[in-house]
Amino acid sequence: MHGQSAEAAKVSIWSGLYSIEQAEYGRQEYMDKCSNCHADNLVGMFPAPPLRGAGFVTRWNGKSVRDIYSRIRSTMPADEPGTLSRKETFAITAFLFQENGFPAGENELTGKPKELQQMMISLEK
Amino acid sequence: MNTGMFGRADKRGSGVRKECRGAALAAAMTFCSAMMVGAAEVEGEWRFYSGHQNGNKYSPLDQINAGNVNRLQIAWQRPGVDPDLLEEEPDINPVSNFYSTPLMIDGVLYSSNALGLVEAMDPGTGETLWVQEPVYKGFRGLAGFPTRGVAYWSDGKKRRIIVARGEFLLSVDAEDGRLDRNFGDGGKVSLARPGPGGPLPDAGTSGPIVAGDVIVIGGGRADDIAVRKGVASEDIRAFDVRSGEPLWTFHVLPRPGEFGYDTWEDGSAKLGGGMGAWAPLTADEELGYVYVATGSPFASFYGGQRPGQNLFANSILCLDAKTGERIWHYQLVHHDLWDYDLSSQPVLGDLTVDGKAIKAVMVPTKHGFLFTFDRVTGEPVWPIEERPVPASTTPGEVAWPTQPFPTKPAPFDRQGFTEDDLIDFTPELRAEALEIVKPYLMGPLFTPPSVEAPGHGKGTLVLPGALGGASWTGGAFDPETQFFYVYAHTHPWIKSLVRPPPLVDSLTMYAHGPSELLESSLEFTEIDGVEDLLDTMDRQVDEGDAYLIYGPDGLPLVKPPYGRITAFDMNTGDTVWMAANGDGPRDHPRLKDLDLPPLGNGGRPAPLLTKSLLFIGEGASIQFSTPRGGGGNKFRAYDKETGAVVWETELAAGTTGAPMTYMHDGKQFILVAVGEKGEFPQWVALSLP
């Protein structure tokens, strides 16, 4: 559970912030709504950037789950931004974490903005 | 309807209320608007994206001048979206590449905000007066992208802000932000065009222009999507400003029987689309003409399936604003293979050349030329020569044998790539640079892209690269001195062609290389930890970075400057001065002991001209920059006659939009959008204390 209060300490992405099932749902959503531009294998098709690899991970290194989640929800899919539900956006975020080598945990990725802000994406374990 | 935008009580008690329903506007505003009809010039206002319909980015304001600019300070700074809205919708997180430039009319700032919604602000404080009524209810109505500019129209009674966003062209009431129910379908007109997987929303990135009672809008999709079959040509379209009724369409890709159709040999005009004019448009209402700079043809790096000159790609078009009739055109790149789409707004100015008065249009390009025409007739002001250029070595490709070279003014960027262009700060650096370029094909301007294959080299080094040269940042023209100012970013690109993975709907036999991009990305399929990725850091896989080539230790590959400003006297066509814009990488470990002058920051800053000063930033890290991740937060004032830096400051982030200026309550303000990767985009307004 990510039931931390706003004052809670930061949580690392390495502690497992999503579930395998959620990432699988996220994969389906990705293939349906994202892969047309970012490619089935997430390598991107310019100008849609790669969503897997060094560029992606360093871009979000040091940022919070709230940052990436809200960016996806506010801007994607680029042709129809704002059409992803919260649930779909969390699942796609989980799928991206999985594809970039971050471990799964027991619980689904979800939370209030202040909680999401405490979940940190980090290259360092 | 989102309660964040409507029906909220005014919390500031100012004359203009932050609410929509039934709010009577401040009497002062109504009075002002009645006095200012249409596009009339009003001193101290900023009524178009570039200040004027002529696109010159010039204001005669002089309260801020060389004598006091060092006292300039931040008047206000605020997020690119109404802070109240952010509080109510915590999922809002717009892109950091915030390139909106507001208008200032009748004492109100109007802009596309960081989400692309029209937002009205108090020019003195930056406080939000209203955010427009969205097209959709709920979060979908809020999510979106900014556009560079909005357009203003008034008949003396009605006042409208015209904006393109997502799928739609919208007419928004300038009084309160409500959609104009008399325009199109409840305030909106769909701009969607046919695409491979269904209609593509196609409002573009720069926004419309209004000339008289006619809205004109170009295109704006990335050229790259046009490598696919089934993408419609991004025609120029016009709509009635009152009703939203379509008035005319100009086919940028000619149809059978139309002029230019035969410049697509073998019937290739039927194959593709694209060619969106994505730069801002310009108009001359006196002549009744609109000036349009068009984009690249489909598959902008490989033209084997579109033999011919490919009109009206990469062309300056002069169209009759009322009818869409082509008055004249000039193609500035034939059969484009370099992604040299025309990305700068055409700039209108009146010149005196050899004693003859000329109404001119000036078009800076990515490949470093400033093309200058009589805007009435399309005659070049200085001769443009068709010169032979290198043939293509790519199977299936026939490069056009000549390209247009203006004889004046001189190029404002490095053109073509030879060993003489390589950095030579030290003999060691030069030797390393020589090693780096060994596998690539180099040659003069217009050397075509080449196939990347074992024993065949790694592609062509193209300079200027596909970023320019000039870009959407464009030029500025001083109507008093007839000086033209343009910023250029110097960074070579790799233009290599690799056999693509089979794409059923592709219009090209080749994918854009380098192949390492594809290969290195595929390797990640097998990763089992993020640490592995760190080893690949030098592979430059972020956001098209793979196309850029760097020198030793992340230094630029070519000689400086990497970002430069050039001033031309357009009455003579002569260069007046050239200045490196910013320090560039002179503090790099391998350069810092060499005591180098400013090397220039490569980025995407746009100029602003006032009576005596030229204001410009350095671009931002979020955009393409040299060195990588560069950009810079500095914002400067140059003496526009000499190119000397008069003043500089450091902003919260690099400039992402074109700056503008206005007078409000007796004070001159300079306003610019800034952004940084991962940070919330902001507007910053500067004024004297």
Spell out which residues of chain A touch residue B540, defining contact as CB-CB under 8 Å.
Answer: 55
To the nearest whole Å, the CA of A5 is away from the closest chain B CA by: 17
Chain A nearest C-alpha distance from B143 (Å)? 5
pLDDT of residue B25: 39
Q: Which two tokens stand for residue B59?
A: 């204001």
Query: Does the beta-carbon distance from B533 to A113 stay under 8 Å?
Result: no
How many Å lie between the alpha carbon of A70 and the closest alpha carbon of chain B? 5
Q: Which residues in chain B land under pLDDT 70? A: 1-41, 196-198, 221-230, 500-509, 511-546, 628-630
Q: Does A6 touch chain B (CB under 8 A)?
A: no
Residue of B nearest to A123 (CA): B530
On chain B, the residues whose CB falls within 8 A of the CB of A31 are none
CB contact under 8 A, B139 and A49: no
Contact status, residue B149 vs residue B101, Cβ threshold 8 Å: yes
> Of B521, B522, B526, B540, which to mutate for an interface test with A (greatest number of A Cβ within 10 Å)?
B521
Cross-chain residue pair A73–B93, CB shorter than 8 Å: yes
Of residues A41, A58, A79, nearest to B525 (C-beta): A41
CB atoms B143 and A74 under 8 Å = yes
Strands B209-211 and B475-477: unpaired
Cα B638 from Cα B628, distance rounded (Å): 25
Across the interface, do A43 and B197 touch by the CB < 8 Å criterion? no
Q: How far is B239 from chain A (nearest CA, A)?
A: 23
Q: Which of B91, B539, B543 sits opposite A49 (nearest CB)?
A: B543
Mapping DSSP to helix (H, G, I), strand (E, B) and coil, where does residue B614 land? strand
Residue B467, pLDDT score: 86
Nearest to A74 among B91, B512, B522 (CB): B91
**Chain B CA closest to residue A84:** B140
Contacts of B197 in chain A (CB under 8 A): 36
Residue-level pLDDT at A2:
41
Inter-chain touch B115–A79, beta carbons under 8 Å: no
A121 touches chain B (CB under 8 A): no
* Residues of chain A neighbouring B222 (CB-CB closer than 8 A): 46-47
> In this structure, how many other beta carbons lie within 10 angstroms of the beta carbon of residue B229?
15
Provide the residue type at B312 as one letter.
Answer: F
Instruction: In whole angstroms, give the CA distance from residue B83 to residue B63.
Output: 31
Please name the amino acid found at residue B400: W
- When CB atoms are compared, the residue of B139, B528, B533 closest to A53 is B533
Phi-psi domain of B335 (left: phi exceeds 0; alpha: psi -120 through 50; beta: other): left
Q: Is some CB atom of chain B closer than 8 A to the CB atom of A59?
A: yes
Classify residue B52 by burial, with Cβ atoms within 10 Å: 0-12, 13-18, 19+: buried
A and B: number of Cβ contacts within 8 A: 127
Across the interface, whether the CB atoms of A57 and B91 are under 8 A apart is answered no
Residue of A nearest to B139 (CA): A82
Contacts of B145 in chain A (CB under 8 A): 75, 78, 81
The closest CB to that of A47, out of B222, B525, B528, belongs to B222
Angle between helices A20-33 and A86-99 (to 10 degrees): 100
**Gap between the Cα atoms of B470 and A98, Å rounded:** 40
C-beta atoms of B93 and A74 within 8 A: yes
CB contact under 8 A, B145 and A78: yes
Measured distance CA(B22)–CA(B20) in Å, rounded: 6
Is A43–B166 a contact, with Cβ atoms under 8 angstroms apart? no
DSSP string, B285-331: TTTTEEEEE--PPSSTT--TTS-S--TTTTEEEEEETTT--EEEEEE
Give all strands (DSSP E) within B465-617, no chain letters: 475-477, 483-489, 493-498, 511-512, 563-569, 574-580, 608-609, 613-616
3-state helix, strand, coil in chain B (%, to 5): 10, 30, 60
Q: Does A86 touch chain B (CB under 8 A)?
A: yes
List CB contacts (< 8 A) between A78 and chain B: 145
Would an 8 Å CB–CB cutoff place A31 in contact with chain B?
no
Of A51-55, A119-123, B518-522, B580-584, the range with the lowest mean pLDDT is B518-522
Cβ–Cβ below 8 Å for B521 and A59: no
> Contact B521/A100 with Cβ under 8 angstroms?
no
Q: How many residues does chain A have?
A: 125
**Among chain A residues, CA nearest to B91:** A70
The residue of chain A with its CA nearest to that of B88 is A113
């009577």: which residue's tokens? B24
Q: Testing the interface with A: which of B86, B87, B91, B518 to mutate, by most A Cβ within 10 A? A: B91
C-beta atoms surrounding B157 within 10 Å: 9
Q: How confident is residue A50, by pLDDT bands cut at 50, 70 and 90?
A: confident
Contact A59 B678 (CB under 8 A): yes
Contacts of A79 in chain B (CB under 8 A): 200-201
In one-letter notation, the amino acid at residue B422 is L
**Where are the strands (E) in B146-272, listed by range?**
151-154, 159-165, 168-173, 188-190, 209-211, 214-217, 236-240, 246-250
CA distance B208 to B204: 9
- The arithmetic mean of pLDDT across residues A46-70, rounded, is 87
Is-contact B230 B304, C-beta < 8 A? no
Q: CB–CB of B145/B656 below 8 Å?
A: no
Please report the pLDDT score of residue B104 as a whole number.
98
Residues in chain B closer than 8 A to A57 (CB atoms): 530, 533
For residue A37, the model assigns a pLDDT of 82
| C-alpha closest to that of B646 among B658, B654, B637 | B637
Residue A117 in contact with partner chain B when CB distance is under 8 A: no
DSSP code for B261: G
Residue A93 has what DSSP assignment? H
Report the chain A residue with the minimal C-alpha distance to residue B516.
A43
For position B676, what pLDDT does the model report?
86
Rounded CA gap, B329 and B86, in Å? 46
Cα–Cα distance measured from residue B323 to residue B321, given in angstroms and rounded to the nearest whole number: 6
Query: Which chain B residues are within 8 Å of A86, Cβ to Cβ?
Result: 91
Question: Do B144 and A102 lie within an 8 Å CB cutoff?
Answer: no
Q: Is B460 in contact with B512 (CB distance < 8 Å)?
A: no
Answer whether B618's CB lies under 8 Å from B582's CB.
yes
Partner-chain contact B144 A45, CB within 8 Å: no
Sign of dihedral through CA atoms B411, B412, B418, B421?
positive
ipTM here: 0.90
Neighbour tally for B62: CB within 10 Å: 12
Question: Between B512, B527, B677, which is nearest A59 by CB?
Answer: B677
Please name which of B293, B261, B259 lies closest in space to residue B279, comparing C-alpha atoms.
B293
